[in-house]
Structure 1
């Protein structure tokens, strides 16, 4: 069998196996009661997206790969603060990356057990026979399902096409589209006027364009080396430092959504006199949604900007440029380069954070102006993930095709 075709078959088979695991029911749960109560629970939407919509059905793979994603984000952030992890990441090469992956895997298992226990306590409300036996059984089942799903994702990465965890999330997002079209999009289009439909289409295209800009947008800082100076070849487009518009991916959106839900819960659970006075001056629903947009916008900007400053380090970039005998055009090496990079990148990261926040707020704006909630489950986070995975998988397929053509040419 052709190598590329074999990779296609392995990937497809493992994705089907993972999707089947989503529908293997957990014992002892009243699914009708669970689905009817949590169908429109907005607090679950981001978790559902990252779990591959496993929490929509509460199957064996309900956790999806959420614990692995959380562990990876935690390790990525902490690696810059702990010398041991930083050494594994930068100095020990492939061996260090394998050790770091093993640490991430162990942390993911711990998080899976914790999340399984929390989910078991929550599902206890919908249990046919609630008790300690139900909690223990559900916790073990969900943890085992997560490890099996993680193994499937790793096999896709090693033997198939694309990044395994990303593809599992993508398949979960795509599987939700037919249901969204049937229950949300088609009824809305039929029951509303042409102007609202045109406005909806325009806003959706605007959101798609913003997602494309965030994924593909880069800022190139031109470089000049000592060799180029001797050869009088200064303007070389290949020599530059590319900085992406969005360094954090969808992490700021997830953190902002979680924080907003927490703030909303706290406001509802406390009797705040100031909040009561404000709500008397305008309709309650409109006021809450406007406040939610403003707070959500600021949270996304804050998380994205902080993440960008934490990941991008101008001091290290400046030192590496000096080691390679390379400098930025028109800027002296050393402190001037560090200051230039810090100022340039801070402004660029802030611009990218504002753009990401504008796109993240689009579903809330659509909900207020057009009175539809169709983008709650298929919003910017889903679009960002889907677009990134499609581009990443396309590049890997293109590389495999080039490798195959080169091998045939050499033979």
Structure 2
């Protein structure tokens, strides 16, 4: 990877793209430290540092924003509204025939129109999300200190307007920055910004690991186990990265044989090919879906307040759905597998694939065209999806199991973060290699 970046740096055009991408990342990090007016960042940081927030929607928002939300800054909501908008539009494109025709038959114009609709929906979602978080922040306090300042009378209306507007504007600005990276930089813009936000949390994680080592050094009799657990965490982190890299390139290739046909004096077909199906079809999406749904009960409990007695039943219910509860872990695995199949069903249509093969005179050796071919492709997709979903579940559960077994809950590096880090790095390197190949650079693989 580093050699590829070094070779790309030697090409002037790619060097400009890399520098532009780095410039946008620097601007993003500057925006992540510009405070939102009328918010007490010290009080908000005190709430966000509590362990009760780790498995809530606020915890995920803080993770994706690189700590910008806990610091009450311009990019506090990160690109989550845009991600949610993209997911919603993908689902609607499958459910609504008009949108499906616009994407498939509209060509470049149809894709641009779909992109415009996605951006408008993202701004609307950002406005609603900013409104919801304002109402939460207005009623929240830490140690008796309110988070929102000047919320009384007419000043309160102006304060609400400014905070919600800044939240929404930060989301729109990040969306625009991501599009600029797509046009003038290297890699997928939104993914690059997510990558930068997660990497920005690494110093905090390293600092927390250092605290555990300091505890072991100062009081070895009670905390000596951290001398072993901290290096173990590093080894598990590296092992998960290796597994993700291995599974990211894994694929099942369905062999295809094309029949020979003669048109005039020319012969077409007759060659063998294959249909590649990646093991990790859904990528990180099933984990994001499952995490978002399971964070709802904990978020509701957090909004209600931990100091309120709701009765033994509801207290037990919310305790079961905490990140340390056994119900949470079981449902987490089930939902990841279920959403893996759901995302595969959206991306692949076995009947359409079988029809396309028949129209192009292609057959799978040993399988008859038509329904037998679609059934065979469906079985292969089912097996591959199961393997990929179990792999995602293991990656997602490993940090949770480690935290519950060791008590090291404040490392804030889940399976979602690791998959995003590795996936974005691999995708960016592949894009650099493809652009170097287009420029006929001879030594890019040497």
Partner of 1:122: 136
Q: CA RMSD of the aligned region, Å?
A: 2.9
Which residue of structure 1 lines up, in the alignment, with residue 274 of structure 2?
240
Is 2:32–2:76's contact at 8 Å kept on the other side of the alignment?
A: yes
Does 1:145 pair with 2:170?
A: yes
Following superposition of structure 1 onto structure 2, how do residues 8-157 of structure 1 map, counting pairs within 5 Å?
8-40=18-50, 41-42=53-54, 43=56, 44-124=58-138, 125=140, 126-130=147-151, 131-157=156-182
Cα separation, partners in 2 of 1:273 and 1:149, compared to 1, 3 Å? closer
Q: Please say if 1:174 is aligned against 2:199.
A: yes
Partner of 2:260: 227
Distance 1:355 1:2, change over 3 A: closer
Count how many residue pairs are aligned between Structure 1 and Structure 2: 397
Q: 2:33–2:71: 8 Å Cα contact kept in structure 1?
A: yes
1:360 corresponding residue in structure 2: 396
Superposition deviation, residue 274 in structure 1: 10
Q: Give the equivalent residue in structure 1 for 2:356.
A: 320
**Local SS of the residue matching 1:241:** strand
| Gap regions ≥5 residues in structure 1 | none
Residues 211 and 380, structure 1, Cα contact 8 Å, conserved in 2: no
Corresponding position: 1:335 with 2:371: yes
- TM-score normalized by the length of structure 2: 0.81
Cα-to-partner distance string for 1:13-36 (whole Å, 9 max, x where unaligned): 122112111111111111111101
1:134-189 deviations in Å (ceiling 9; x for gaps): 2111111111222122111111110111111111111111111012101x222334
Structure number having the greater helix percentage:
1
Instruction: Give 1:288 shift.
Output: 5.1
On the 8 A contact 1:52/1:168 being kept in 2, the answer is no
Pair 1:259-2:293 in alignment = yes
Q: Is the 8 A contact 1:367 1:373 kept in 2?
A: yes
Matches within 5 A, 1:145-224: 145-182=170-207, 184-189=208-213, 191=216, 192-193=224-225, 195-197=228-230, 199-224=232-257
Q: In structure 1, how many angstroms separate the alpha carbons of the residues matched to 2:282 and 2:269?
A: 38
CA distance in structure 1 between the aligned counterparts of 2:321 and 2:117, rounded to whole angstroms: 46
Greater CA deviation, 242-251 or 171-180? Answer: 242-251
Report the CA distance shift for 1:352/1:272 in structure 2 as closer, same or farther (over 3 A): farther
Aligned CA distance change for structure 1 residues 39 and 276 (closer, same or farther; 3 Å) = closer
What is the Cα deviation at residue 8 of structure 1? Answer: 2.0
Do the aligned partners of 1:8 and 1:161 also contact (CA within 8 Å) in 2? yes
The answer to whether the 8 Å contact 2:351/2:374 transfers is: yes
Aligned to 1:5: 15
Quote how far apart the aligned CAs of 1:75 are: 0.9
Please point out which of 341, 344, 362 is paired with 2:380: 344
Distance 1:197 1:25, change over 3 A: closer
